[in-house]
Amino acid sequence: MLAALDPTLFATDLADFLVRKGMPFRETHHISGQVVAKSEELGIPMDKLSLEQLKAIGNRFTEEIMDIFNYEKSVESRSAKGGTSRSSILEQIEVPRALLS
Within a 10 A sphere around the Cβ of 29, how many other Cβ atoms?
Answer: 15
The residue segments making up the domain with residue 97 are: 74-101
pLDDT at 88: 87
Q: 9-37: per-residue pLDDT in tens?
A: 999 999 999 999 999 999 999 999 999 99
* Tally of structural domains, the chain: 2
Are residues 48 and 33 located together in one domain of the fold?
A: yes
Query: Looking at the structure, do residues 40 and 83 belong to the same domain, yes or no?
Result: no
Q: What is the pLDDT of residues 41-74, one digit of tens each?
A: 999 999 999 999 999 999 999 999 999 999 999 8
Q: Are residues 82 and 48 in the same domain?
A: no
Residue 13 shares a structural domain with residue 53: yes
- The pLDDT score that the predictor gives to residue 68 is 93
HSE, side-chain direction, 13 A CA sphere, residue 7: 18
pLDDT at 8 over 90: yes
DSSP state of 79: -
- Per-residue pLDDT reduced to its tens digit, 66-94: 999 999 998 888 888 888 888 888 888 99
Coil, strand or helix: which one is 21?
A: coil
Q: Is the same domain home to 89 and 48?
A: no
Task: Kindly state whether residues 12 and 50 are assigned to the same domain.
Answer: yes
Could you tell me the CATH number of the domain that includes residue 8? Answer: 1.10.40.30
Radius of gyration of the chain (CA): 16
pLDDT value for 40:
96
